[in-house]
Amino acid sequence: MIKKHILILLISILAIATVLYFALVSGNDEAKGKNINNKSFSNLVGNLEGLIVKTSALEENIEVSGTIIPYDETIIMSEVSGKIVNINLAEGKLVKKGTLLLKLFDEDLQAQLKIFEVQLEIAKNNEQRMKTLFNVKGTSQQEYDASLLQVSNLKAQIEILKVNIGKTEIKAPYDGMLGLKKISVGQYITPATQIVTIRAVNKLKIDFSIPERYGSKMIDGSKIIFTVSGNDKIFEASVIANESSIESDSRNLKVRAIISDKLDGLIPGAFAKVTVNLGNTDKALMIPTSAIIPEANTKKVFVVKNGIAKYVVIKTGVRRADAIEVLSGLNEGDTIIVSGILFVKPKSSIKFSKVS
């Protein structure tokens, strides 16, 4: 009897252990299933907007700032020192080339000129007498050559004096507009004294700088357009030269163009808004700027393939107000995320609410 009871007790214990084992295994499997479902749910990002990348026509323009400058600009200064005896500077007025602007004291030079002119006449008469004597063997070749040398020396000294007298007359080097004078009658000036600035205003130029990657497109004859503040007119100019090197601080190339339009309302020194056309393309990949994730040295976007997001590094080109050109990294037909990017991580499962 005792053995029978022990056998029944052992069978009961074994049955209870079996039930507990299967219950425990079932509970673990259910827990694992819940963890998997929760993990899958936490990796899903929804209510996002996407965009299928397509090619479009693009007129490649860039806008930069520029400065209107005179075609020619000269600070007029004297070559010699002297006292001003007469001024003919009409400030802010147009003058013709060769117009006398200022006269320095030259009476001492004029007196020296008269002395040399008298000496020259005497030397010429002496040379004629020596020539007559030389022809009849009345004098030597050496004495006749000395008389010729004296004539030549006096002529050279007279020419030097005339040049120096000419330097006392300051004239306009070309047709232009005078600025404000910086001298007065009776003032003693030197070659370091600034007298007035003259600017050629019948032609104007414009200087501007463009990013170095566009430098190869700025060839002589290239057309640009620009506007200035307070003037609704759109002006046109033609490129005439580029700087020989890139500016090291800004990585820009300085360009100069000559303004071919009428100069109505244009003043040297004025700020200009320059538009440079760099060409047209029918296969530009344009994406919204909101889709770009800027980093230190790169730009990235989220591309979604098979419902999974991944980072893609891109290279950009022309920028518009709300869109930017992608030069590399994307292909036509790729789907990118354009809204809700802050909630997305690499390898996130994506559910779009709208795809454009």
pLDDT by residue (tens digit) across 105-154?
A: 999 999 999 999 999 999 999 989 888 888 888 888 888 888 899 999 99
Q: Quick check: helix, strand or coil at residue 110?
A: helix
Question: What does the mean pLDDT of the chain come to?
Answer: 82
Q: How far is it, in rounded angstroms, from Cα 185 to Cα 83?
A: 8
Paired residues of 272 in beta bridges: 66, 228
Q: How far is it, in rounded angstroms, from Cα 32 to Cα 44?
A: 19
Q: Do domains 63-69+197-281 and 78-195 have the same CATH topology?
A: no
CATH fold of 78-195, please?
Answer: OB fold (Dihydrolipoamide Acetyltransferase, E2P) (2.40.50)
Query: What is the rounded average pLDDT of the residues 54-65?
Result: 79
> What is the reported pLDDT for 41?
42
* CATH code of the region 63-69+197-281: 2.40.30.170
Residue/partner pairs of 54-57 with CB below 8 Å, 24 or more apart: 54/285, 54/332, 54/333, 55/282, 55/283, 55/284, 55/285, 55/332, 56/282, 56/284, 56/286, 57/280, 57/281, 57/282, 57/284
Q: How far is it, in rounded angstroms, from Cα 20 to Cα 299?
A: 58
Which residues are CB-contacts of 211 (< 8 A; sequence separation ≥ 6)?
A: 62, 251, 252, 253
Domain coordinates in residue numbering, the chain: 45-58+282-355, 63-69+197-281, 78-195
Identify the residue whose tokens are 């190339």.
Answer: 253
Question: Global pTM?
Answer: 0.56
**pLDDT band of 30, cuts 50, 70, 90:** very low
Paired residues of 255 in beta bridges: 208, 242
CATH, domain 45-58+282-355, list 3.50.50.60, 1.10.10.10, 2.40.420.20, 3.40.190.10: 2.40.420.20
